[in-house]
């Protein structure tokens, strides 16, 4: 994985997941297996077609519970998988394998589902300049994992939280008394605090875009729930002055048409908020 701070954060997420699932102990495994130190081998088998994501995370799961477990992946993050493919195997104490099975699968299935859907959107806009990006509509506590899966699927990450980018939305604009005042306040805030932050501002109509262009000072304009004709008009108005992002009501059926309007980014909430987990099982060989 290579990024020490990223690894630290993933380990924290993994450890929380293990505590949540195991609690005071795996009573079923303790009852059935007891203290017998039985060595076993289990296979991660795909029962679906898609994109694998979460291999590194699964490795952290096994290491966190029992460092003696030997996880051998046959595929890498981003590889495409077919029904019946073996993604990897784990060898070691059967008690540890049974105890960690669900946590490992939860990460692998969810991340692979996100990567699979992201890859479909990315392929749908091939040949355009549009990049598929995620949102903050992630599972609480799993944002890093969810966004990592989007990257593995070929998408790009939007802001990670409220702290790393200014995004002026409709409620901010209403409270500020207009988009002009909202932008001016954000520019002043950045200057006073000596911050290095990009500013994105939401527009809900072509008229909003015209107001934003008069004020300037932003890095990206978010065109929210625009129809195709208005998207084209807005993109033509903005030109090369600012980055352009489209959002709202994006599906696999319409994403190509949205991309062909010339937007730079298309944000898709469904990548993470309503993902279908890839069907993967862990089968112990007996």
Phi and psi torsions of 250, nearest 5°: -80, 130
d(CA 219, CA 216): 9
Tally the residues of the chain: 286
Please state, as a whole number, how many other Cβ atoms lie within 10 Å of the Cβ of residue 173. 21
Active site residues: 102, 137, 169, 202, 224
Angstrom CA distances, 136 to 95, 160, 269, stand at 37, 7, 8
**What is the sign, positive or negative, of the torsion defined by CA atoms of 27, 33, 35, 38?**
negative
Contacts (Cβ under 8 Å, ≥6 apart) of 68: 92, 93, 96
CB burial readout 10-27, b (16+ within 10 A) else e: beebbeebbeeebeeebe
Phi and psi torsions of 30, nearest 5°: -60, -40
**Nearest CA among 175, 246, 173, 249 for reference residue 211:** 173
């Amino acid at each position: 994985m290579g990024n020490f701070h990223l690894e630290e954060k993933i380990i924290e997420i993994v450890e929380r997941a293990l505590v949540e699932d195991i609690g005071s102990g795996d009573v079923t495994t303790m009852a059935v297996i007891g203290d017998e130190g039985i060595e076993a081998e289990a296979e991660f088998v795909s029962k679906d077609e898609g994109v694998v994501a979460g291999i590194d995370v699964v490795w952290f799961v096994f290491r966190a519970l029992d460092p003696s477990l030997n996880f051998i992946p046959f595929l890498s993050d981003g590889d495409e998988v077919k029904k019946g493919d073996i993604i990897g195997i784990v060898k070691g104490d059967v008690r540890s394998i049974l105890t960690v099975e669900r946590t490992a699968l939860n990460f692998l299935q969810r991340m692979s589902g996100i990567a699979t859907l992201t890859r479909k959107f990315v392929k749908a806009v091939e040949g355009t300049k549009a990049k598929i990006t995620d949102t903050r509509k992630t599972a609480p506590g799993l944002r890093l994992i969810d966004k990592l899966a989007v990257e593995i699927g070929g998408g790009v990450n939007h802001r990670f939280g409220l702290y790393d980018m200014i995004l002026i939305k409709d409620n901010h604009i209403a409270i500020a008394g207009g988009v002009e005042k909202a932008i001016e306040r954000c520019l002043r805030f950045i200057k006073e605090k000596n911050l290095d932050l990009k500013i994105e501002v939401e527009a809900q109509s072509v008229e909003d875009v015209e107001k934003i262009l008069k004020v300037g000072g932003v890095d990206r304009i978010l065109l929210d729930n625009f129809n195709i004709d208005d998207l084209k008009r807005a993109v033509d108005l903005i030109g090369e002055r600012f980055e352009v992002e489209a959002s709202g009501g994006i599906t696999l059926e319409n994403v190509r048409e949205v991309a062909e309007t010339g937007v730079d980014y298309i944000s898709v909430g469904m990548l993470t908020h309503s993902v279908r987990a890839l069907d993967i099982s862990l089968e112990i060989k007996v």
